[in-house]
Every structure is written in C-alpha cells, then in structure tokens.
Chain A
Amino acid sequence: MEMEPDQLPDSEAEDPRQEFREYCIGGILAVLLTLAAFGLVASHWLDTLGCLMVLTLLAVVQVLVHFRYFLHIDLRRSHRDELQLILFTGLILFLMAGGTIWILWNLNSRM
C-alpha cells in the first residue's frame, strides 16, 4: 500500500520498532510503579498518612502512564475529541465521587 504525501504521519513515524518501544516503556514504567507502591507498604517505610499520600501519587502517575503508553492518549489534534471526553469525564467523576464522599462523611460525623 503506497502512502500519499498528505497522508504522512503528523508526528511519530509508522514504525513498528517505535510503536513496540512505546509498549515496552509503558510496561516497564507500570511494573516499576507497582513495585514501588507495594514495596512502600511492605517496608513500613513511612508513617500511615505519608504512605497514603505517596500511594495516591503513585497511582495517579501510573494511571497517566497507562493512558499515555497503552491507550495512546496525547495532545495531538486528531485525538482532541477523546481527550476532551476524558477530561470532561474526569470532571464529572470528581464531582460525583468527591461529592458523595463529602456528603457521606459529613453525615457520618453527625450520627
């Protein structure tokens, strides 16, 4: 199949090795982050609160890694619809889950 000039990639080349490398980076980062999280808890390195905060951070980073390297979400123009969709979903999830936790804990504090 021949490529026409205007069909050229708008960033990365259509290159098997490049795409393979992406999955590898994602896989390695994911495993490292997971090991870090489990290791942190197993080693009792930090006090509870510090531990929870670092765990949350690690989880957020790992979610971003998965989105970037496995789901291939990035800032490219052609991905705008999906990116907007995901960001909007993030907002709604924050409102729903955050609000729910707020409300239920607030109620519980008065029981």
Chain B
Amino acid sequence: MTGQPFDYFWLGKLSIDSLPFVEFIRDPNSNTAVGAFAKAAAIGGAMGLMVLLTVFGKWRVFWHEWLTSLDAKKIGIMYIVLAMVMLLRAVIEAGFMRAQQMLAVEQPGPLAPEHFGELFSTHGTIMIFFMAMPFLIGIINVVMPLQIGARDVKFPLLNAISLALTAAGAVLIMISLVIGKFSTGGWSGYPPFTELAFNPGAGVDYWIWAVTLSSIGNTLTGINFAVTIYKLRAPGMTWFRMPLFSWTALCTSIIMIFAMMPLTVATLMLALDRYAGFHFFTNALGGNMMNYTNLFWLFGHPEVYIVILPAFGVFSEVFSTFSGKRLYGYHSLVFATMAIAVLSFCVWLHHFFTMGETADLNAAFGIATMLIGVPTGVKVYDWLLTMVRGRVRLTTAMLFSIMFMVTFVIGGLTGVILANPPVDFAVHNSLFLVAHFHNMLIPGTLFGMFAAYYVWFPKMFGFRLSEKWGRISFWCWSFGFYLAFMPLYALGLMGAMRRSAQWFDPQYLPWLVVAFCGALLILAGLASQVVQLWVSIRDRDTTRVPGGDPWDGRSLEWSMSAPPPEYNFAVIPQVHDRDAFTWMKKNGTSYTAPEHYEDIKMPKNSIVAPVICALTAALGFALTWHIWWLTIASFIAVWATVIARSFCQNTEETIPASQVREEHERWLRSVKALKPAPREHETTSANQGLAEVVV
C-alpha cells in the first residue's frame, strides 16, 4: 500500500492476492482446493440464479413482486429463503470441519489451521446471525400479523429496511468467501486476538460489518414487531386471548430491542480500536478485553432466548393443533415465557465463569442460571399434557416437535450441569460445550423452524409439502443429530478442546468417525429437504389447499384463503375466544360474508429497501478494504435515500371496497364447492384446506 498511492486510493487494501482462485493456482493442494471449490460454488450459485431469472424472464416479477414489496408475508418469505440458503452453506462447512477433525488425529489433516479457523467462524456466525435470526424473523413476519388479526406490521417500510440490512450482512459474508479471507476469531470475535496487532487482515473487518449490519436490522425488527403486537391486535383479542406463538414473538422482540445493542456497541468499539487506534480492548494503554467479553455476552445470552422462544411458540401451536386440543396450561406458558425473557438478562456471566472474578459473583450468576430451568420445565410439562388424551396426528411437523421435546430435555440437563461453576471450570471451551449448545440449537431452534415451515408452508403458497420426503428428512436429521453430537460429550470429557484443527490422542478417532457419519446423515437430511421442495412444487396440483385451513387450525391465520390476499383480512375479525378460528368454526361464522366491506389502505411498493441493501453492502465492503471514497459516498447515499423518501407523500394506495368484496365472495364460493376432509386424510389429496367441523 505504500508505493502505490493511486491504487490505494481507488482500491484500498485490495490486491491480486485477494482475488478468487489465485491462491489455488499458485499452490494447488488439498487446502486451497477446498477453498476453490467453495468460491466456485458461491460464484456458480449467484450466476446460476441470474441465468435462471433471465432465461425465464422473471426479472420484472422478481423486482415488482418481491424486492420492492412491503407486504410482511413476502418480506417474511424472503427472510426464510435467505435463511435456507445460508443454512445450506453453513451445514456444508460443518461437514468439512467434521472431516478435518476426523482426518487430523496425529497428523495435519487436509485443511490448514487458518482455513479451519475461517470455517468455524463463518459456520457459527452464519448459523446464528444469518440462519437462525432470519428464519425466525421470517416466520414471525408471515404468521404474527395474520394471527393477531392485523393487515400488516405497523411500519412496513422499516420492515423491508430491516431485511435489507440483514441481507447486506449476508451478502458481505458471501463476498468474503470469494474475495479475501474471513475472520478466524470465531462467532464471538474475542479480542485481543481480533485486534489489529494480531489480526491485521481484512477478515475481522468482514465479520465486524456483517454482524453490525444484521444487528441493526434486528433491533429495528424487534421494535416493529413489538409495536405491532401492542397496537394492532384485532378487536376482542385481549392479551390473554393472544395465541402463544404471538406471545413468544412479542417476548423475542422485546429481547431484541434491548439485547442487540450491546453487540452493536461491542463491534463498533472493536472497530474503533482497529480503525482509529482507540484502546478499549487492546493489551496496552488501559484497554481491557474483559470489557468486550462482558458486552458480547450481555447480548449473547439473551440471543439464545431470542432464537429459542419463537420455536417454543411454534411447538405450542403444533402440539395443540395436531392433538386436536386446546393448549394445556396457556397462562403458565405465557408467564413462563415472560419469566424467561426477564431472566435472560440476569445470567450472562455464566459464559465467562473462568475469567477470574470472585467465587461469590460466580455463585450468584450460577444460581440465576439454574433458575431458568424452572420455567422451561413448566413448558415441557404443559406440552406433554396438551398431548395427553388428544388425538395425536404424526405429521412431519409433529414428528419434529416430539423429537425436539425428547432431545431438548437432554440438552437442558447438560446445561444445568454446566451452570455449576466448578464443573464448568473442567469442561469450559471443550467439545462438551459444543455438544451442549448444538443440543439446544438444533432440536430447539432449527427443528422449531422446520416445524413452522411444514405447518405454514401451505398458508404461504397454497399447497402442501410432500409428507414422504418430509419424513425421510426427519429421520435423517434426528439420527444424524444424535450420531454427530453425542460423541462430542464424550470427547469433551476426554479433554478435546473446541476449535482444534488437529489432535494428538488416538483415542479420539472412533468418536470422531461416528460424528462424521452423523454429519453425513444430516447432509442427507438437508438434501432430502431440497428434493422435497422440488417434488412438492412439481406435484402441487394434487396438494392444493384453496380453503386455507389444511390442519384444522385454531387461530386466525387459518381463516382466509391460502395464499392470503395482500390485505390479509377482507374485514378485520372480531375475536371471541383464545382459539379464535375454532370458535368461529364451531359457531358457524367462519365462512360467512360480512354485512359490508370498506376501502383498505395498503402501502405502495418502494425501491428504498433494495437501494439501502446495495448501499449498505457497499459501505461494509468499502470499510472492510479501507476504500475511503466509497465509504463516504455510500454512507451519504444511505442517508440521502432516507431523507428523499421522507419527501414522498403518496405512499399508500387504496383497494376499493368493491374489489375486496368481489375477491372475498369469489373465495367464499370456492370454499362452498370444497369437500371437508376428515383428519385421517389430512396428508392425502382429499385435504383441500377445509376441515370437518366436529361439534
């Protein structure tokens, strides 16, 4: 960067070496080959998408119906697609890590240690910020407004901007695969390792900006959801008539409002250290890395509940729907959820019991940690009792939910073990910990999101997913999970530390082989989900559910056509009961035309969100590579866009009452023509989305 002021001005720290494939061409070996494969996959994927859009002439649709849309359902679906793409990448990376660890017992293994470090850093970062978060936010976007009887979220444009920021972060992390290298600092990015002195490259900066963008997006999402639930519930939907999924959405949003900020602060402080020579977390001149650890876990622990609570909500809906029963212990579930939300702010220190504080402090936080087990236990009993004496139907969603309950209890037990500071000192940062948190996150968050995907897919797209392939994927994921992660408990107790690229104890080998087989099975599970999607789209004409109620649902989201109209409800319903739609079905008001219709105001499409996505991705890239002209230009452009938008006056369009009437009546007529399906035929083509009412 010295001798070439011109290049430095225009290109910052970018150089020939940051280009893709250069490393592989210069020095072809197993390590660079894996890297080249990943780059090729990323570039190929992006090009493939563009070719497909061009060949099928779908660019216009893509732009007008999706990218610029402010409809919460579409924004939700885009979030979910983003999450699935990122899931695919992160699981493949996990496969490579398992392979490396298996092949690196008393030998170096195929991957260089630095490369292994990048793998666990991207895997962890993606799984948390670009898989779990977008997935659950997507599901909430689709389901929550429908469930509480609202036409949209309160701030639709803000919603699109949140997605834009998250997507920009994801774009950045995909670019890091192709140009330059990613951080090796793990998903938690602890300094001083991530400080300039030890990590001068661009990798940590990629991590900082990707995470910062997504955390800002998530804060805004939390605000949006919380206000929506507070202010836009349908008449009659009192707090204690609100479906449990919406409750968990509310609690998750509240945690997001308060807990994303510590992360943003931590990453920005780290950035100030790295870019401007501040001394927050450095080793010299009064910096203190423990400060970072504290801030990171002030976010990190509540984050765990951000990703688990919505899954709890999904499971609650699934257990009650597929047992054909009212949810058992509704009030206790609500209070347990609230208790967890508050407690989640009281326990963050358990992530650094070993940092050197006094035993008193550790004891206080250890006890607080164990307390969280109580409300969680309450939930498990409520779910069990919901199934008791119900007519349980083992659909794919239900299978995932039951597997969750069994597996999650095991993970919770290992968590209570870890909450003892003396025990934690022994297994801290070992594979025991890795096993524990995967044991919570995979059956909890991931299976929860899968269950949500299976339940609400017909609502989103109007046809069901293939049950056969769903089951195959279920068995692969479940057995795969046990095979991949139970050995890690043993390995951790044997002394295997996490983030190790190489081992020196031959006894580890058999366990690592089993774990690798588990990872393969998980990959097979993921592959069968891809096949499932393909098969289901191909056969969609046999699985359509125009009635909109394929599972004999209980809450309002099942009360309209599938997919729902843009405005969700032709008229906003009056809620009489906690299971609002079941009440309507029993009282014969579910498919009746209202007395009169009103004009509906909906937000117009807006190009603001895609513009902000492009600009903030450019901003992150420019900051990462020290391209200052682009940094300044894109920063100004982002705010100029926002200000320009504030001068737009016509941001809404009116759907006339006559059109609403016509669409609604057409749907009511088509429902009349449908044959109600008994529950035994729920997964056959007899299910057209109209449930038999058993009084």
Taking Cβ atoms with an 8 Å cutoff, the residues of A that contact B are: 81, 89, 91-92, 95-96, 99-100, 102-104, 106-107, 109-110
Contacts and interface: CB of A to CB of B under 8 A. Distances in A.
A4 to B, nearest CB: 21
12 contacts: A91-B342, A92-B345, A96-B258, A96-B262, A96-B298, A100-B294, A102-B361, A104-B291, A106-B358, A107-B356, A107-B357, A110-B356
Contact of A96 (B290, B342, B345, B357): B345
Contacts of A99: 298, 346, 348-349
A15 to B, nearest CB: 29
A104 B290 contact: yes
Interface string B56-92: 0000000000000000000000000000000000000
Contacts of A110: 356-358
Contacts of B342: 91
B298 A100 contact: yes
Given A81-B230, A92-B258, A96-B262, A103 B357 contact: yes
Interface of B is mostly: helix
Nearest to A88: B254
Contacts of B349: 99, 103
A111 to B, nearest CB: 8
A22 B298 CA distance: 39
Interface in B271-296: 288, 290-291, 294-295
Contacts of B358: 106, 109-110
A107 B298 contact: no
A103 B557 CA distance: 46
A83 to B, nearest CB: 13
A91 B343 CA distance: 12
Interface residues of B, number: 19
Q: Which of A89, A95, A107 has the most CB atoms of chain B within a 10 A radius of its CB?
A: A107
A104 B294 contact: yes
B290 A95 contact: no
A91 B346 CA distance: 11
A91 to B, nearest CB: 8
Nearest to A111: B356
B420 to A, nearest CB: 19
Contact of A95 (B288, B345, B355): B345
Nearest to A96: B298
A81 B214 CA distance: 28
Contacts of B294: 100, 103-104
A86 B219 CA distance: 17
Contact of A106 (B230, B258, B288, B361): B361
A8 B12 CA distance: 64
Contacts of A96: 258, 262, 298, 345
B358 to A, nearest CB: 6
Given A92-B345, A96-B262, A96-B298, A107 B230 contact: no
A100 B342 CA distance: 17
A103 B288 CA distance: 13
Contacts of B356: 107, 110
Contacts of A109: 358
Interface string B290-318: 11001100100000000000000000000
A103 B361 contact: yes
Contacts of B262: 96
Lowest 4 CB-CB distances: which A-B pairs, in order?
A106-B357, A92-B258, A95-B345, A106-B361
Given A92-B345, A107-B357, 12 more contacts: A89-B258, A91-B342, A100-B295, A100-B298, A102-B361, A103-B294, A103-B349, A103-B361, A104-B288, A106-B357, A107-B290, A110-B358
Nearest to A109: B358
B520 to A, nearest CB: 43
A95 B262 CA distance: 13
B346 A95 contact: yes
